[in-house]
Structure 1
């Protein structure tokens, strides 16, 4: 009598039905991580590089490093 009260377990198509749900969840999670990285890491990094190179003078840096003795081929003056 008690066996009639319990629902029968799903035997066919169980893997396919679970995979469908898990693939959707994994896709949404990966898109969320990608968007979080893009807006949390990549975009601020791009802005920081753009701000740094806006006023960067390569020759001035080179002269400062040369005076400090960083280069062996360009002796300090």
Structure 2
């Protein structure tokens, strides 16, 4: 009986190729989500805080709280 030459199965390198593909995909997705969070959440929040504290006067706020009776021991 003569047997033909059989091709080697591709199972030896299959886990490494799949792992490489999934690592690259996870890296791309995580960088995309990080960029989306930076520009959709962090930058508007930073701008809103800067706008709030640009015109914020703590003394008038303190006087309003004291007049309302929340702080009773302040002079």
State TM-score, norm by structure 2. 0.83
Tell me by how many angstroms 1:64 deviates: 0.5
Residue 4 (structure 2) aligns with: none
Residue 65 (structure 1) aligns with: 65
Provide the alpha-carbon RMSD of the alignment.
Answer: 1.8
- Tell me the number of residue pairs that the alignment of Structure 1 and Structure 2 aligns: 69
1:32 matched to 2:32? The reply is: yes
- Gapped runs of 5+ residues in structure 1? 1-6
Tell me by how many angstroms 1:72 deviates: 3.8
**Which consecutive aligned stretches of 4+ in structure 1 deviate over 4 angstroms post-superposition?**
none
Residue 12 (structure 2) aligns with: 12
Residue 74 (structure 2) aligns with: 74
Point out which structure has higher relative CO (alpha carbons under 8 A, 6+ apart): 1
Tell me by how many angstroms 1:73 deviates: 2.6
- Gapped runs of 5+ residues in structure 2? 1-6
